[in-house]
A and B are shown apart, each in its own frame.
Chain A
Amino acid sequence: AQKVTQAQTEISVVEKEDVTLDCVYETRDTTYYLFWYKQPPSGELVFLIRRNSFDEQNEISGRYSWNFQKSTSSFNFTITASQVVDSAVYFCALSEAQSGTYKYIFGTGTRLKVLA
């Protein structure tokens, strides 16, 4: 069965600290996609990154970086030098290719609070 686990419900950090948000997934599909979305208080889900199951390269985009490890079924997200504007709920999601639907299975989210 497909499942995404975000064990950290809420994290608080002081501005400029680094923070890592964990994501562990379960799937039997060999072709799948992993995503991170940010949900600020306004409610809209903002796309951050997509990874396919065949690409285990880590990625860096500015202060954001992602570590994908198939061996541990994890897709963790690190924010370097956090800022108050990073405060939001962050969701990890899994999409399996086999069904053709490309529907997402979301985790329960991690609320990040960055304190000034």
Chain B
Amino acid sequence: DTGVSQDPRHKITKRGQNVTFRCDPISEHNRLYWYRQTLGQGPEFLTYFQNEAQLEKSRLLSDRFSAERPKGSFSTLEIQRTEQGDSAMYLCASSLANSHYGYTFGSGTRLTVV
């Protein structure tokens, strides 16, 4: 297992376009998290899944954002009608349920909205 994979690494899109990011967690990890990190800030929690169930969403996750994790494996994060304020690094992480040993993070997808 090579860790948490995120695709693409970089995405440049025009304002108003839709974008979708993919995260492949470590295979035996049943928890999956999405975070957003803007320049000069720490990552902020967006949402998390336990298996295929999305159990919590942050208020940061507006109606234009949707995340899925079909079959409890990979996850996608879609942003509709992108805005310049959506420009950020989107980080995915996975862990075992009830594990307090910390997450494994992916390398992130850097989104630039022009």
| A interface residues, Cβ below 8 angstroms from B | 4, 33, 35, 37, 42-47, 50, 52, 91, 93, 95, 97, 99, 101-109
CA distance A104 to B42 in the complex (A): 10
Contact residues in A for B104 (Cβ distance below 8 Å) = 47
Q: Interface digits, B70-108 against A, CB 8 Å rule (1 contact, 0 not)?
A: 000000000000000000010101010000111111111
Contact residues in B for A42 (Cβ distance below 8 Å) = 107
Contact residues in B for A93 (Cβ distance below 8 Å) = 42
Mostly, the B contact residues are: strand
The chain B residue with its CB closest to the CB of A95 is B100
CB distance from B81 to the nearest CB of A (A): 26
CB distance from B56 to the nearest CB of A (A): 5
Binds A, one of B17-25, B43-51, B61-69: B43-51
CA distance A23 to B44 in the complex (A): 17
Contact residues in B for A52 (Cβ distance below 8 Å) = 100
Contact residues in A for B56 (Cβ distance below 8 Å) = 99, 101, 103
The chain A residue with its CB closest to the CB of B105 is A45
Contact B100 A91 (CB under 8 A): no
Contact residues in B for A46 (Cβ distance below 8 Å) = 105
Pairs of residues from A and B, 8 with the lowest C-beta to C-beta distance, nearest first: A106-B42, A45-B105, A103-B45, A44-B107, A47-B102, A43-B108, A50-B102, A106-B43
CB distance from A54 to the nearest CB of B (A): 11
Contact B45 A91 (CB under 8 A): no
* 15 pairs, CB–CB < 8 Å, chain A vs chain B: A43-B89, A43-B108, A44-B105, A44-B107, A50-B100, A50-B102, A52-B100, A93-B42, A95-B100, A99-B56, A101-B56, A103-B33, A108-B41, A108-B42, A109-B40
The chain A residue with its CB closest to the CB of B4 is A44
Contact B101 A45 (CB under 8 A): no
CB distance from A69 to the nearest CB of B (A): 20
Contact B91 A45 (CB under 8 A): yes
